[in-house]
Amino acid sequence: MVSLAYAKNKNELDWVYNFQHIVLVSKYRFKVFRNPKTQKVVADAFREVEVQFGVKIKEFAFGDDYAHIHMMVNVPANLSMQQVRQILKSHSASKVFKEMPNFIKRILAKNSGVDSLQEQVSGR
């Protein structure tokens, strides 16, 4: 889904609209976005990406299954779609893991019946 428009000022390429529909899916489609705190942390991470990289997020919503996010993103000319996806996923994941230290343990234990991350890694 692409929408094009002319720049308001020909010297400012940031005003050229290149909206793309992006779907970000969680690993193994775990329902990680069910928790309101996780949703808030992810939304804050997306706002930081907007400021830091010049990506404009027109709208985003969490999927009905809480395992994916739909968003309309204005991609700047100096970044590719792959880079934008990578930036959004890595920045939001880093922020979630930093602000919610037990996130990995809770998700793995809940979805695989394993009590801890160490047991998951060692295979016991």
pLDDT of 102: 82
pLDDT band at 109 (very low <50, low <70, confident <90, very high): low
Q: Which CATH architecture has domain 3-122?
A: 2-Layer Sandwich (3.30)
Distance, in Å, from the CA atom of 24 to the CA atom of 88, rounded to the nearest integer, reads 9
Question: Are the C-beta atoms of residues 55 and 19 closer than 8 Å to each other?
Answer: no
Give the mean pLDDT of 85-109: 85
pLDDT of 28: 81
The whole model's pTM is what? 0.72
In SS3 terms, 10-62 reads as CCCHHHCCEEEEEEEECHHHCCCCCCHHHHHHHHHHHHHHHHHHCCEEEEEEE
pLDDT of 27: 82
Domain ranges in the chain? Answer: 3-122
List 62's β-bridge partners, or say none: 69
Three-class secondary structure of residue 74 per DSSP = strand
pLDDT of 82: 95
Sequence letter at residue 79: L
pLDDT in tens, 37-64: 999 999 999 999 999 999 999 999 999 9
